[in-house]
Chain A
């Protein structure tokens, strides 16, 4: 069964350093999402792509976070510089183009900023 791949699974970084996460969605899925899940809370959408275009980045802290999906397939989320409050699980999900389709989630990257 096709799955969403994410790497790394765990990342420890120091405050002020740069960090990047990678996501490979299910083949053929046009929509890709990055969520942040703080411990004890539900996931919150950071950015959503339709093919290579950003359609929603209203909750993305653009002074330090950036995301790209250059060829409309895999995606990278970057944080520079990392802050202590960025410690969280970063989840990637993908879905087919239509509204209300199930979102398929990857295993996530757990980030710890020290």
Chain B
């Protein structure tokens, strides 16, 4: 079946450190891949997306590359800030006959300290 696996958190970093959050997926067909972010007390917001193999999504200094050969979509940022502290969700979509259903991973909590 279709599924998403993320690295377990929490991930704790100092400000300006390099961030990687691993995400791998299992899917039939050709899914689209997404990273959503959930700040404390808020709903999920789309961070970035990629719709086909080798595409790179980027936003706010974050980036992720759709790797079909390794079925991965790892999230990276070169220099994190305290304001990046949140829960990050990897998700795949476009695998349910065209109705845009999203399948989420369990989420990875990031805590950035000054």
A83-114: CB near B (< 8 Å → 1, else 0) gives 00000000101010011111101111000000
Q: Contact between A43 and B104 (Cβ–Cβ < 8 Å)?
A: yes
Which of A41, A44, A103 contacts B100 (CB under 8 A)?
A: A103
**How far, in angstroms, from A31 to B96 measured CA to CA in the complex?**
14
Q: Contact between A41 and B106 (Cβ–Cβ < 8 Å)?
A: yes
A14 within 8 A of B: no
4 further A-B contacts with Cβ under 8 Å, apart from A42-B106, A48-B101, A105-B43, are A55-B99, A98-B100, A100-B51, A103-B102
A-to-B contact residues, CB < 8 Å: 4, 31, 33, 40-45, 48, 50, 55-56, 91, 93, 95, 98-103, 105-108
Sampled A-B contacts (22; CB under 8 Å): A33-B102, A40-B106, A42-B4, A42-B104, A42-B106, A43-B89, A44-B104, A48-B99, A48-B101, A56-B96, A91-B43, A93-B44, A95-B100, A98-B100, A99-B98, A100-B93, A100-B94, A100-B100, A103-B46, A105-B44, A105-B45, A108-B43
